[in-house]
Structure 1
Amino acid sequence: MSTSTPASQRTTTTTAAAVPAKRPFKFSRWFGATGWRHLVGIVMIVFSMFPLFYVLSASLNPNGTLLQSNGLFSSLGFDNYVTLFNNPQRPYAAWFINTLVIGLTTAAGTVFLGALAAYCFSRMRFVGRRFGLLSLVIVQIFPQLLAVVAIFLLLTTLGDIFPILGLDNQIALIMVYLGGALGVNTYLMYGFFNTVPSDLDEAAKLDGAGHARIFFTIILRLVAPILAVVGLLSFIATTSDFVISSVVLVTPERQTLAVGLYQFVSDEFTTNWGVFAAGAVLAALPVMALFLYLQKYIVSGLTAGAVK
């Protein structure tokens, strides 16, 4: 007498046979495939985060030395922050405001002027266009540090004619920053502007739009990621500059954070690393806040560039 297997049972048996059995977990196989990457990532995170924790611990250390900060957060206190804002000879609040004003103004001016120049090089055809682009690349070979003497003499001469553009003036420092950062940022924006199809410009011209309307209403919206990147880089470079700002600005009330904080550790007998660390922690907050605010534009720019 023959018996037949039900169809549902045969289907279940076939499905069970088709599913491969799970291999037992082996640490050596996992580590050789992906585990070592996690280990490298953890090491890099610790390596990059340790200086930040060390400076934060030094800023909260009432003793005011870096050597006694080896035990992270062993002693906590806000004495360094109180001293930072209660020193009339070293007005930290004025330095902080000056840095924000100079940094934001320079970043906005760099983005606007660089975008105008990049649009001209990308969309217009004129005599000297290729020579201008080549000049921008060649000029960036020489660092701005080499022009410190020339900048000092130039501002000294201009100060006799236009005091607002002379030494010890923040507007003059902003102009120096704009001139130094215009070249590399223009070339950076020029490459991104070329990724925007020119058909959009032609369609707008057919509707009667001129270059100004195309630039402000169409192009700027499409190149917002590169504008965010250039603005962030310009702000970071401006707020962290020491050499040029120390040459241009002399009065303590007009100096920036990079120049002012150096005074806490430049004296031979009155160095106070704790106060310096507290000022450095507060100085990093605007940069971090701007980076977090522009992060979505930066990520979208990288994604758009990959798709294109």
Structure 2
Amino acid sequence: MTATIVKETRRSPESTGQPRRSFGFWLRDKGWRHAVGVVMALFAIFPLLYVLSAALSSSSTLAGSNALFSDFDSSFGNFQALFSDPTRPFGRWFVNTLFIGIVTSVASVLLGALAAYAFSRMRFTGRRLGLLSLMLVQLFPQLLGIVAIFLLLSGISDVVPWLGLGSQLGLIMVYLGGALGVNTYLMYGFFNTVPKSLDEAARIDGASHAQIFFTIILRLVTPILAVVGLLSFIGITSDFIIASVVLTDPDAQTLAVGLYSYVATQRAENWGVFAAGAVLAALPVMALFLFLQKYITSGLISGSVKG
């Protein structure tokens, strides 16, 4: 038995009878899309590189950061200054941010999922009015109620100090109240895509609403849970206004509020330290995004395949 080797050569446009396309045609057809993508990528990456350059610079101001990474500090003095200042407990701020962000994200996802399941699967009096109320409440920004939030927490402090002004638990409650409406409405649309026949089949087997929700529905709506949790964590860790109003104790503050003290004065000379703190503050968000990305991708892929 003899083996035959077949060599395939790539045909040129001339051999197939097709005219060769010019560079101008490619640029008008597809090239402009690549150009727009490159410009937008540079536009998005430049602020990140600028902050990273300022964090690694030996200068304490932003004046010497115009040329990226031109004044590199091999000793990482700005990062050392974050943890060496006893008046600014950066480590405590970091832990506070993780605690508030994780607790609020998990609670908002759980409460939003429970409310969305009730609106999607159950029929009760006031259901339609409740959905419309959730949508209307989101039309008003949370900042409009910041004065009312301050007065409410100030009054609660006289009765329940651990839940009032200056407490992290009070801030968590404020975040949950502001995010519950939009999260519920967002999950409600995703819950409606899950076939109700699964609920009926489980109910015939004797499963309760709790068993259906925790063992069946939550596994099928993993993508929306990951998205809501990620968005909640990003919004909470980057919030400054509400956290600065509620948290009055320096030891209980978050990173956004604590880092502001480095540049609060008009002629601040701690921009390098501030940039270093911003770089470290972005690490948990990046880690959470990379962790949840596989759940979002796997959920979308499994939903597109019929088995």
TM-score computed with the length of structure 2 as normaliser: 0.91
- Write out aligned runs for 1:233-248 (5 A): 233-248=231-246
- Write out aligned runs for 1:265-276 (5 A): 265-276=263-274
Quick one: distance in 1 between partners of 2:273 and 2:203? Answer: 59
The one of 37, 59, 63 aligned to 1:63: 59
2:23 paired with 1:27: yes
Identify the residue that residue 34 of structure 2 maps to in structure 1: 38
Identify the residue that residue 74 of structure 1 maps to in structure 2: 70
2:223 paired with 1:222: no
Identify the residue that residue 7 of structure 2 maps to in structure 1: none
Query: Looking at CA atoms only, which structure, 1 or 2, has the larger radius of gyration?
Result: 1
User: Cα deviations across residues 259-305 of structure 1 (Å, max 9, x unaligned)?
Assistant: 01111111234431111111011101111111111112233455577
Quick one: distance in 2 between partners of 1:269 and 1:47? Answer: 28
Quick one: distance in 2 between partners of 1:92 and 1:248? Answer: 19
Identify the residue that residue 96 of structure 2 maps to in structure 1: 98
- Write out aligned runs for 1:98-247 (5 A): 98-247=96-245
The one of 268, 293, 296 aligned to 1:298: 296
Question: 8 Å contact 1:226–1:301 — kept in the other structure?
Answer: no
User: Cα deviations across residues 142-175 of structure 1 (Å, max 9, x unaligned)?
Assistant: 1111111111111111111111111111111111
Question: 8 Å contact 1:165–1:171 — kept in the other structure?
Answer: yes
2:44 paired with 1:48: yes
Q: Which moved more, 1:182-191 or 1:77-86?
A: 77-86
User: Cα deviations across residues 65-119 of structure 1 (Å, max 9, x unaligned)?
Assistant: 1121011101111111111111111111111110000000000000000000000
Quick one: distance in 2 between partners of 1:297 and 1:284? Answer: 21
Report the secondary structure of 1:271's partner residue: coil
Identity of aligned residues (%): 66
Report the secondary structure of 1:196's partner residue: coil
Question: 8 Å contact 1:111–1:227 — kept in the other structure?
Answer: yes
Question: Structure 2 stretches of 5 or more lacking a match?
Answer: 1-14
User: Cα deviations across residues 121-143 of structure 1 (Å, max 9, x unaligned)?
Assistant: 00000000000000000000111
TM-score computed with the length of structure 1 as normaliser: 0.90
Quick one: distance in 2 between partners of 1:191 and 1:24? Answer: 49
User: Cα deviations across residues 212-262 of structure 1 (Å, max 9, x unaligned)?
Assistant: 000000000000000000000000010011111111101111000110111
User: Cα deviations across residues 161-210 of structure 1 (Å, max 9, x unaligned)?
Assistant: 11111111111111111111000000000000000000000000000001
Letter matched to residue 292 of structure 1: L
Identify the residue that residue 11 of structure 2 maps to in structure 1: none
Identify the residue that residue 8 of structure 2 maps to in structure 1: none
Of Structure 1 and Structure 2, which has the larger fraction of its residues in helix? 1
What's the RMSD between the two structures over aligned residues? 1.6
Report the secondary structure of 1:40's partner residue: helix
Quick one: distance in 1 between partners of 2:269 and 2:246? Answer: 25
Question: Structure 1 stretches of 5 or more lacking a match?
Answer: 1-18
Report the secondary structure of 1:276's partner residue: helix
Q: Which moved more, 1:21-30 or 1:174-183?
A: 21-30
Measured after TM superposition, the shift of residue 63 of structure 1 is 0.8
Identify the residue that residue 259 of structure 2 maps to in structure 1: 261
Identify the residue that residue 5 of structure 2 maps to in structure 1: none
Q: Which moved more, 1:156-165 or 1:282-291?
A: 156-165
Letter matched to residue 296 of structure 2: I
Quick one: distance in 2 between partners of 1:302 and 1:51? Answer: 31
Measured after TM superposition, the shift of residue 307 of structure 1 is 7.9
Letter matched to residue 50 of structure 1: F
